[in-house]
A and B are shown apart, each in its own frame.
Chain A
């Protein structure tokens, strides 16, 4: 059933009820509130959306419409009760509400002003006996630190001069003649013949790169040696020609 159909049925029922004779009211129910006027009922049913009654062709609807009182102004019902307007607070009350919080107690004249700067009094100086006692308490610490960190004569006596003597006794390179290598030490070769680069991308290197760089410095007092061969065959032949001295 559509809204129009329900409205037609409702109007027809209202018209029928109006036509019926009402029973007499009892005296006890005189104080009871009367039923809401019909206008309020229609307002509750969204009265502004109702079509004009003259458009209905139903005879019963025409009759109901003729007996139905005029609808009240709907906009007044929808607005509700307007909020009461309070009188503006006096300026004195507003200032007081800002100045004092709700739980704050008012300051009295006997309490000091919190914003007043408090003068700083200088700390009393320790007396001479107390200062001497304090210095005496710190002296043990001060007496330990110089012994550990101060560069005294005893510290100089602990320099590893003896270690140098001990090291010299086991120094092998001193027994090596100067013509043994670039520096006479036992830790580094005069030259390393490695591949010029990675094996997959080997590039030729100039023959001068294989000459030992520091060899002349090590052979100043010795006869000038023959230059190192620049070919692999020359190096190999020279090596195989060596014999124990």
Chain B
């Protein structure tokens, strides 16, 4: 299967006459300084609303899926990560990477905007959902990583992470559904 390459050329369309910026997929975006966007997001998070960030992640995932030409699940992990990290970087949200710890996937986001870890986790969860991961959640750990788990396992993993447990131990405490210890 041919792995498409990400082409950043023409990703943004600047309509100067109309005063609008649109992505390649046609979504209109608003360019905001970081010191203005971050307080707005924190205000929403203070009210317990992470939907906005989840929607932003979903939008990023949709952009990446658009560049991949659909059928994201059949692509190689490297190809998908390459496209996703390019889209995330074009939105100025940091450098994304994907790791595998045992059977578990772990996401890192270096150089992200100064947002709470839960907010970034919501963003990444929305992104993975848009890429085909139904009910995907990204639980932050104390070392700055995000463990990808199902929504049903998110609370338990979140409790472990609050105790300082790292991704390796969390992966060891997880097992495929139906497998008892």
Contacts and interface: CB of A to CB of B under 8 A. Distances in A.
B128 interface: yes
Contacts of B78: 193-196, 202, 204-205, 209-210
| Listed residue (A173, A238, A244) with the most chain B CB atoms within 10 angstroms of its CB | A244
B91 to A, nearest CB: 13
B99 A192 contact: yes
Contact of B172 (A177, A199, A237, A240): A177
Contact of A242 (B5, B85, B167, B174): B174
B131 A243 contact: no
Given A181-B102, A232-B75, A241 B176 contact: yes
A131 B139 CA distance: 79
B135 interface: yes
A172 B102 CA distance: 16
A243 to B, nearest CB: 5
| Listed residue (A202, A233, A242) with the most chain B CB atoms within 10 angstroms of its CB | A242
A176 B160 CA distance: 14
A176 B180 CA distance: 16
A156 to B, nearest CB: 36
Contacts of B128: 236
A176 B150 CA distance: 22
Interface stretch (B14-22, B39-47, B48-56, B103-111): B103-111
A199 B82 contact: yes
B134 interface: yes
B175 A195 contact: no
A114 B156 CA distance: 101
B103 A242 contact: yes
B37 interface: no
Nearest to B166: A186
A139 to B, nearest CB: 57
Contacts of A234: 73
A235 interface: yes
Interface string A205-245: 10101101000000000000000101111111111111111
B69 to A, nearest CB: 14
A205 B135 CA distance: 29
A205 B76 contact: yes
Q: Which secondary structure characterizes the binding site on chain A?
A: mixed
A76 to B, nearest CB: 102
Interface string A154-195: 000000000000000000110111011100111101111111
B101 A190 contact: yes
A189 B176 CA distance: 19
A240 B150 contact: yes
A30 interface: no
B124 interface: no
A193 B103 contact: no
Contact of A173 (B106, B132, B168): B168
15 contacts: A177-B172, A184-B172, A189-B100, A192-B100, A193-B81, A199-B85, A201-B5, A232-B77, A232-B131, A233-B75, A236-B136, A240-B136, A242-B149, A242-B175, A243-B177
Closest 6 CB pairs of A and B: A233-B73, A180-B172, A195-B82, A189-B99, A245-B181, A204-B3
Given A180-B101, A242-B153, 10 more contacts: A186-B167, A189-B100, A194-B98, A195-B85, A199-B89, A232-B74, A232-B80, A232-B81, A244-B153, A244-B173
